[in-house]
Amino acid sequence: MFGSRLYWTNTVAILDRSSTFCQPYVLSGTDLSMSTILVIGCVSFDTVHLDQSGSRQSHNTIGGAALYTALAAVRVGAEVTLYAPKPSPLPESLAGVDAMLNWIGPQITVDEMPTLEIVHHGNDRATLVGASWGAESSLTPDDLKTLVTDTHFDIAHVAALSTTPNQLNFVRSLQGVKHNQVISAGTYARAIEADAPAVKELIGSVDAFFMNSNEARMLYGEEKVVPNEYQLIFVTDGARGADVYLSHEPEAVPQHIAAEEVKVVDPTGAGDSFCGGTLAGLTLYVSPVAAAQVGTLVASKSIEYVGPEIFFIEDQDESDL
């Protein structure tokens, strides 16, 4: 199991640095002299139901796509700024988050926090049965203009929001403030059901995009996923691992990353943990496939715990790994 930040930072040592997968590949505009990531989205209070062996276990935990992405990126070694509504006073359950990264955003009450209810049915099937987006509407692109103008971010990631047009507003604002800002984004099934054309527009607007295999089927059916030139698309597939789409050539074959076999406790946030680990990998280790190997490893470890617990565990004995 992962533990201290030092070990998280050194996860790249597991990779075969001599392989062709680790040849340099730089997203347009990336400045490799730093490793800083901006994550835009929400932190939520989650109720997670785990259906296992005919019984159901329920847990209350913190969550949210932006939270998992940000914490995973921090643990791999990136400096992360999280733009998300921030409750005041800060609940004890969120104190560790505030200590790990630079959390900025509109101040809200605890009662205004977004809440999600998720049921995991096993075999990589999950249902979002309830979502209250709380104070998400307090997030506005205008609030970020000065920050993005004055601060260098290797990557700005727009995590899943209540609607895809909201994500597009942030993407357009980021591009308007700094034309060479590298931007990534992700989605989820409900967003595709609500507005698939907007999700496809979002994909075409960013440098890197993250989705799972079910979402890819919803968007493309039997068609191949083909990124734009110099774009990266990452498609996770549960226990199978992930595919990295590197080439805009229609006949190109994606690079597959196998997942580590682990005992699944709570798969919530696995895709977002993959996203955060991969984004940090892109800024730290350059190769997209090597970065995705890091992301896959982070995701595999995150699902061995309830919620984002793995990211707060410190000073584990590496001999136990």
pLDDT attached to residue 50: 85
- Summarize the confidence of residues 38-47 as an average pLDDT: 96
Q: What's the half-sphere exposure (Cβ side, CA atoms, 13 Å) at 296?
A: 26
Report DSSP letters for 245-310, one per residue: E---STT--PEEEPPPP---S--TTHHHHHHHHHHHHHHHH--HHHHHHHHHHHHHHHTTSSTTGG
Cα 303 from chain centre: 14
Q: Residues 37-54: what's their mean pLDDT?
A: 90
User: Is the distance from CB of 298 to CB of 72 less than 8 angstroms?
Assistant: yes
CATH code for the structural domain at 5-42+63-111+136-310: 3.40.1190.20
Is the pLDDT at 118 greater than 80? The verdict is yes
What pLDDT sits at residue 241? Answer: 95
Can you tell me the mean pLDDT for 124-129? 77
- Top mean pLDDT of 7-21, 42-56, 63-77, 111-125 is at 63-77
pLDDT digits (tens, 9 = 90+) for 255-309: 999 998 888 888 899 999 999 999 999 988 668 999 999 999 999 999 999 999 9
Listed residue (108, 211, 128, 126) closest to 167, CA to CA: 211
Contact 297, 277 (CB under 8 A): yes
Q: Cβ neighbours of residue 106 under 8 Å, at least 6 residues apart?
A: 85, 86, 135, 138, 139, 143
Q: Please state the domain extents for the chain.
A: 5-42+63-111+136-310
Q: What is the pTM of this model?
A: 0.87
What are the pLDDT digits (tens) for 80-110? Answer: 999 999 999 999 999 999 999 999 999 999 9
At residue 250, the pLDDT reads 80
Closest by CA to 125, choosing from 27, 195, 199, 50, is 50
Inform me whether the pLDDT recorded for 75 exceeds 80: yes
